[in-house]
Amino acid sequence: MSDVRHVLVLPDRDAAEEVVEALGERFGVREEPQVVRDALAGEDDAEDAQWLVVLRDEEAALDPGELDDLAAEWDGWREEP
């Protein structure tokens, strides 16, 4: 097994939660991804936060391009490792 992780960056919590649902529906992801609020440096305003969906892919079965497309549907992106 490898320790492959994908990090999808989304603009708000609703988008992050919808992406988590889509991961299960489209890709059959069984393990619940971790959703994390990532406040931008020096900002206290909730408007200035991004939401991260951290997804383990131990078998490297998920296509990074498809994850890019998924995140883009919610105005997000996938961080490169």
Q: What is the pTM of this model?
A: 0.86
pLDDT at residue 30 in the model: 87
pLDDT at residue 20 in the model: 97
Averaged pLDDT for residues 2-16? 92
* pLDDT at residue 42 greater than cutoff 70: no
Indicate the pLDDT class of residue 49, thresholds 50, 70 and 90: confident
- Rounded to whole angstroms, the Cα distance separating 81 from 14 reads 24
Percent pLDDT > 70 in the chain is 85
77: which residues sit within 8 A by CB, 6+ positions away?
Answer: 8, 9, 68, 71
